[in-house]
Amino acid sequence: MSALVASVLLCLVSAVCYAGAAIVQERIAATSGEGAYAPLRRAGWWAAVALTGLGAGLHVVALAYGPLSLVQPLGALTIVFALPMAAWFVHRPVGAAGWRGAFLATAGLAGLLSLTGSRSEESLDGTERPVIAAAVLGAVVLLAVAARWVRRPVVRGVVLATAAGAAFGMGSVFTKAVADDWTAHDADLVSLLPSLGVIALLASAGMLLSQASYRGAGLAAPLATLTVVNPVVAAAVGIVALGEAFRYGLAGGLLAGAAGVVAAAGVVALTLQNAARTADPHADVMNAPGTDAVRTPAADDVAMPRVPGARRPGSCLVSTRSGPKSG
């Protein structure tokens, strides 16, 4: 088996693990009691943690075998796998709007990341890391606090997913920095402890925020937001701090901007779909393909003995026509 095929297979399994973890998180958020620590008492939550860790490990191994321009776009398959998996395991209909939103988000993200240039040899300087870590952690805290004031569950879920994506994206940046230190600079474990502590903090914050984002917001919109924000944050840090750039110069930058707009359109479509579903929980059943409207017989339609000369129940003895009274 070639290294390229191995990286593709690892990416596919990683995406399935991430999608399964997201589905389990959403179900636990919907069924757990009140309290921030209620999910931690569920075995399923820890299974989601294990799936997330397995997916992350497989993704890191895939990066070792395949090019970044291939492995990173394949990470967008998480949302593609999550929708049919949710339909299969928890019997949640996807619908045409869900497929359109997922396609737009995935296509935009894949286009954005496919335009990312080759990996830079630079790494985060020791003086830059505390500044970047403080800035991202501050932004994550502000988003988490702002989400408490949002009343609509879907919008609140998107805000929390944005914070989670930022935390995960910066976690990836610090993971790359630690890997560079370990392989290129022969750093000892003690000197890596601060960066490892930041990675643990960001990963924990991302996990808790992503769990909270699914509460009342469904699966698609938070997962799409998380899938888009995560690599966008990592790419932004790579461009600003590591000297990376998009391919094809200015044309590549414009194409990347267009891809970002397409991905944002997909997120908006998924958000609107989940908002409509939250407002009308029976819409998925009534609008499912092949489902006809079934008329439930009212009390007046129930067969009952007819008395000669009697009127049907509910009929009016007085004319309901409105108008001036004749004299």
Per-residue model confidence as pLDDT tens digits over 167-217 = 988 887 887 777 777 766 667 778 888 888 998 999 899 989 998 998 888
Supply the pLDDT for residue 105.
79
- Residues 306-311, mean pLDDT to the nearest whole number: 44
∠131-137-143 over CA atoms, to 5°? 135
**311 confidence band (pLDDT: 50, 70, 90):** very low
Least Cα distance to 63 among 109, 113, 112 occurs for 113
- Residues 139-153, mean pLDDT to the nearest whole number: 91
Q: What is the mean pLDDT of the chain?
A: 74
Least Cα distance to 132 among 159, 158, 166 occurs for 166
- Residues 103-116, mean pLDDT to the nearest whole number: 80
Supply the pLDDT for residue 296.
35
For residue 116, pLDDT beyond 50: yes
* Structure confidence by residue, pLDDT tens digits, 75-87: 777 777 877 888 7
Looking at per-residue pLDDT, the higher value among 94 and 14 belongs to: 14
Residue 121 has which token pair?
A: 């040899």
**DSSP sequence for 236-280:** HHHHHHS---BTTHHHHHHHHHHHHHHHHHHHHHHHHHHHHHHH-
**141 confidence band (pLDDT: 50, 70, 90):** very high
Supply the pLDDT for residue 37.
63
Supply the pLDDT for residue 95.
78
Chain mean position to CA 188: 36
For residue 156, pLDDT beyond 50: yes
Query: Is the CA virtual torsion 40, 78, 105, 66 positive or negative?
Result: positive
- Residues 37-63, mean pLDDT to the nearest whole number: 80
- Residues 110-117, mean pLDDT to the nearest whole number: 75
**Helix, strand, coil shares of the chain as percentages rounded to 5?**
70, 0, 30
How far apart CA 200 and CA 196 sit, in angstroms, is 6
Supply the pLDDT for residue 112.
74
Looking at per-residue pLDDT, the higher value among 1 and 307 belongs to: 1
Kindly report which listed range (13-22, 34-43, 86-95, 242-251) carries the lowest average pLDDT score: 34-43
How far apart CA 229 and CA 226 sit, in angstroms, is 5
